[in-house]
Structure 1
Amino acid sequence: MTDRETLDVYAAKAGEYADLVKDAGDDPMVQRFVAHVPAGAPVLDIGCGPGFAAAAMAQAGLEAHAWDPVPEMLDLVRAHPGVTARQAGYDDLTGKAIYAGVWSNFSMLHTPLAKWPDYFAAIHTALIPRGILHFGVKLGSGEHRDSIGRLYSYMTEDDLTDLLTRTGFIIDVSRTGEEAGLSGEVAPFIVLQATRA
């Protein structure tokens, strides 16, 4: 994520965003993710925000790495014991067979759609065989800014499924719904978990 306006919004509203997502570690999808990763294995929460999901992973005994491009978010992440924080984003994901799981929850949607195939390929490469990907995104099409200025890239469920399948993932579980985010706008979303084939 390199869009300056989006980064500035998260920097200014880091505390407000943390209050909004403070229960993220209790999400059943976090528990499912943890259950599908070998004990003590390294995992990456990319676009981690205040790091509540990564904290839950660390508390479960995983080697939790949390990346975010916003320093104000990383200040919050560093309050979580056992989580290794780094200022980084999708363009920095260059390793091979490093992680047993990658948690990408509503963060890639702040990057240009044209880069998504490369980013999913980088995640696939960074995962060990049979590693797990968690992915969340708002549903729709195109690229737009929300009412507080954040850049959003949207994808339909069919297009996302096709892209992940072509990249070498097998989708194991998915769910859709609607909820309000930081801007207060209600939007449809999908979260899914997939295995690296």
Structure 2
Amino acid sequence: MPDQKTIDAYSTRLDDYLRIPLPAEQIESRQAFADAVGAGGYVLDLGAGPGSDSAFFMRRGLRVRALDATAEFVRNARENGVDAHLGSFDDVTETAEYDGVYASFSLLHAPRADFPRHLKSIHQALKPEGVLFLGMKLGTGEHRDELDRYYTYYSQPEIETALAKAGFRIDRVTTGMGKGLAGSYDGFILVMAHA
């Protein structure tokens, strides 16, 4: 079940969210994901936010299904031509459906206990050799930020171990620092892997 306080924080900040510049590492990784999937590939943008990344992938010839738990984000994405649906991580129930799953700073809102289960569902939803992009914040523990959003933080070894246990093979890892919606600078990790 999505965390209501997190959804409320996003619901009231759509315009602010759309103005956040992406770090260079994320721009490069997003393009690398699109290239790895290839034109005509079918991708799930999991925790798609207002659909900016989905629209980027569509412009590069990918077919996109977007899923987010915030109704205002889904509405914005649909208004911009994205096949967006209201739903949670638990709604990923497909088998061998997608050529890629793009989970950009979304799974960090899931409780730590649910993370392995969500990774397994993503692995199942991917076609053999399908591509996963995973963006997460680095750190320890679980807590709420200044906007009352729920976060779970991981170290790089924890993420790599969780992905391996879910059946993924890691292709590349990028780390960096970026400024988010709350205005704080946080370390992040971007992982490209395949099923």
TM over 0.5: yes
Aligned equivalent of 1:68: 68
> Which residue does the alignment assign to 2:147?
148
Secondary structure (helix, strand or coil) at the match of 2:19 reads helix
* 1:147 Cα deviation after fit: 1.0
Matched, 1:29 2:29: yes
1:120 Cα shift?
Answer: 0.1
In structure 2, C-alpha distance between the alignment counterparts of 1:42 and 1:87, rounded to whole Å? 19
Question: What CA distance in whole angstroms lies between the structure 2 residues aligned with 1:35 and 1:149?
Answer: 36
How many residues are treated as equivalent by the alignment? 194
Q: In structure 2, the residue corresponding to 1:179 is in which secondary structure?
A: strand
Measured after TM superposition, the shift of residue 39 of structure 1 is 2.7
Q: Secondary structure at the match of 1:78?
A: helix
Maintained 8 Å contact 2:133/2:192: yes
> For 2:115 and 2:12, how far apart are their aligned partners in 1?
26
Q: How does 1:73-112 map to 2 (within 5 A)?
A: 73-81=73-81, 83-112=82-111
1:80 to partner: Cα distance = 2.6
- CA–CA distance in 2 between the matches of 1:13 and 1:94? 29
State the distance in 2 between where 1:21 and 1:42 align. Answer: 26
User: CA separation in 2, counterparts of 1:95 and 1:150?
Assistant: 28
Letter in 2 for 1:19: R
Query: Which stretches in structure 2 are left out of the alignment for 5+ residues?
Result: none
What value does the CA root-mean-square deviation take over the aligned residues? 1.6
* Superposition TM-score, scaled by structure 1 size: 0.94
In the TM superposition, what whole-angstrom CA distance separates every residue of 1:114-166 from its partner, at most 9, and x where no partner exists? Answer: 00000000000000000000000001121000011100001110011011011
Aligned partner of 2:46 in structure 1 is 46
Given the two structures, how large is their TM-score scaled by the length of structure 2? 0.95
Aligned to 1:172: 171
Opposite residue 65 of structure 1, the aligned amino acid is R
Q: Output the CA distance in 1 between the equivalents of 2:106 and 2:27.
A: 17
**Deviation at residue 18 of structure 1 after TM alignment:** 1.1
- AA of the residue aligned to 2:109: H
The Cα of 1:21 is off from its aligned counterpart by: 4.6
Instruction: Give 3-state SS (helix, strand or coil) of 1:116's partner.
Output: helix
Q: Distance in 2 between matches of 1:192 and 1:163?
A: 12
